[in-house]
């Protein structure tokens, strides 16, 4: 990071990069962090990327960074930026990321720890063998070209229509599991090929399926509304749009470089290649991105269906009797056209969330009725050796265009983790904590080690104290399936 970057402290949880830091910045950068997290954030170039995003035409208010921020492609991971299409606002594939709608869903169950402890090994083995994971993994849910086009338009509803879920699952999914306006014609043949055999697959890297137990309650009203109690078993599923989404991002990132000259866009980093939202190039990307987002929601719906089936076999009971209902599903990497108040004016903006999750508070018209009084559930996974959290969007979420952090945030790169962490030592440490890990390779376990991530407890403390999202409950891991 440049030595000339001096952050201005706004309060204990917010810091400002002045708009004058670099000539050409249209707005300041705002970073949500405390002093402890800020020391880690300064270790890479993420803050420079926050400043670079502030160059985007039409950007509104600020270039925001969540406390899990770390260096990414063009945008920092943990970055949020809204642009105004009526004022030349742009859309940038880098503001969404390669794994379009990488996201997480959380399920509750009626099981308690005592119900599961003697079956945990068998359950983890069954999940690992029954849910395809790893690089290039292929699933049993195979589709024709026509069916794949249906998935890109219908999203989770396609899976529910096939018997892989129920209507309540759609009600508890962001956008009801499908963004309107997806155009399969905007997706390349190569992207179709990469996605055709990957429905119902977990993928690799930081994607996971985790069995958890609630070990701390914070918000009695929200816990009562969600029927959550101490010692209760929950699950998280973290996956995305797999090869299809990656290929769409690659295709459009390459083509949008040509837009910089065409639309006379000046940016300090070509990785921020973009086009006006209402241009032909911008609309084509948005339509293709929606296809990938819908594919990801369908994928997580299929993964939940497989998980429910495995629980049914292990416990010899229906998933309904086991109480395996969906709490919520949120996207982490997405751009959406949303209404926001800006200087007292209701404006339509293009909100980029890269490594950030939507967080709309109680009373917002886009909430399902069941969450109208408590706010949208916000799911924050930690790492496989520490805690994860369920939060609810709070009163100050509008400051960040209704956005919150999405996880702990990397502290070490994958290559650094491989060079500094011993796999055998790590596995023994996790075993001593009663955590069972299954992965397709030892390198994945090392890359995803707890010490490769910031402490999620620190990250959540910041967004809680900043009033973006309040803590509802905390979970600790029991069994983890990794790609």
Catalytic residues: 406
Closest C-alpha to 482, from 405, 432, 427, 412: 427
Provide the terminal-to-terminal Cα distance of the chain, rounded to the nearest Å.
33
DSSP letter for each residue of 387-404: -EEEEEE-TTGGGGTSEE
Rounded to whole angstroms, the Cα distance separating 75 from 47 reads 10
CB atoms within 10 A of CB 465: 14
Say how far residue 52 (Cα) sits from the centre of its chain: 22
Helices (H) and strands (E) in the chain, counts: 15, 19
Closest C-alpha to 290, from 257, 241, 224, 256: 241
- Going by the DSSP 8-state scheme, the letter that residue 76 receives in this structure is P
| Cβ–Cβ under 8 Å, residues 161 and 270 | no
Rounded to whole angstroms, the Cα distance separating 398 from 14 reads 15
Residues 6+ apart with CB under 8 A from 459: 37, 66, 67, 68, 380, 405, 407, 408, 409
Rounded to whole angstroms, the Cα distance separating 74 from 72 reads 6
| Cβ–Cβ under 8 Å, residues 331 and 406 | no
Helix axes 280-315, 145-154, angle to 10 degrees: 100
Q: Between vectors from CA 363 to CA 360 and to CA 367, what angle results, nearest 5°?
A: 55
Residues 6+ apart with CB under 8 A from 458: 34, 36, 37, 67
Question: Mapping DSSP to helix (H, G, I), strand (E, B) and coil, where does residue 236 land?
Answer: strand
Sheet arrangement for strand 29-32: 8-11, 14-17, 29-32, 63-70, 77-83, 345-354, 333-342
């Amino acid at each position: 990071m440049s030595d000339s970057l001096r952050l201005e402290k706004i309060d204990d949880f917010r810091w400002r990069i002045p708009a004058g830091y670099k000539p050409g910045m249209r707005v300041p950068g705002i970073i949500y962090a405390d002093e402890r997290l800020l020391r880690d954030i300064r270790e890479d170039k993420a803050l420079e990327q926050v400043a670079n995003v502030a160059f985007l035409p039409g950007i509104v208010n600020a270039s925001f960074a969540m406390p899990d921020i770390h260096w990414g492609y063009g945008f920092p991971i943990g970055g949020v930026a809204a642009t105004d299409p009526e004022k030349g606002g742009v859309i940038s594939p880098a503001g969404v990321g390669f794994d379009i709608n990488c996201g997480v869903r959380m399920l509750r169950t009626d099981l308690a720890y005592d119900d599961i402890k003697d079956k945990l090994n068998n359950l983890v083995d069954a999940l690992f063998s029954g849910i395809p994971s790893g690089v290039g993994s292929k699933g049993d849910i195979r589709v024709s070209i026509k069916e794949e086009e249906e998935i890109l338009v219908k999203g989770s509803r396609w899976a529910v229509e096939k018997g892989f879920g129920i209507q309540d699952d759609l009600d508890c999914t962001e956008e009801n599991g499908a963004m309107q306006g997806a155009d399969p014609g905007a997706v390349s043949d190569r992207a179709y090929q990469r996605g055709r055999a990957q429905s119902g697959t977990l993928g690799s890297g930081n994607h996971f399926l985790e069995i958890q137990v609630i070990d701390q309650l914070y918000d009695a009203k929200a816990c009562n509304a969600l029927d959550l109690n101490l010692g209760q078993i929950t699950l998280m599923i973290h996956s995305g749009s797999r090869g299809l989404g990656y290929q769409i991002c690659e295709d459009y990132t390459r083509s949008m470089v040509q837009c910089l000259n065409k639309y006379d866009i000046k940016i300090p980093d070509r990785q921020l290649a973009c086009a006006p939202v209402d241009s032909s190039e911008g609309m084509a990307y948005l339509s293709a991105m929606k296809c990938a987002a819908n594919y990801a929601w369908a994928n997580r719906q299929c993964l939940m269906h497989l998980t429910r089936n495995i629980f049914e076999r292990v416990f010899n009971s229906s998933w309904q009797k086991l109480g395996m209902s969906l709490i919520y599903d949120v996207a982490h990497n997405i751009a959406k056209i949303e209404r926001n108040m800006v200087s007292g004016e209701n404006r339509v903006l293009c909100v980029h969330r890269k490594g950030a999750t939507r967080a709309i508070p109680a009373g917002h018209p886009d909430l399902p009725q069941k969450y109208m009084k408590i706010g949208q559930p916000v799911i924050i996974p930690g790492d496989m050796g520490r805690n994860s959290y369920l939060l609810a969007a709070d009163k100050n979420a509008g400051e960040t265009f209704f956005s919150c952090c999405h996880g702990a945030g990397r502290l070490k790169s994958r290559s650094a983790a491989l060079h500094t962490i011993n796999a055998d030592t790590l596995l023994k440490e996790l075993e001593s904590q009663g955590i069972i890990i299954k992965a397709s390779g030892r390198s994945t376990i090392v890359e995803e080690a707890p010490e490769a991530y910031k402490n999620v407890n620190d990250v959540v403390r910041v967004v809680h104290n900043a009033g973006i999202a309040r803590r509802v409950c905390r979970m600790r891991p029991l069994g983890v399936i990794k790609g």
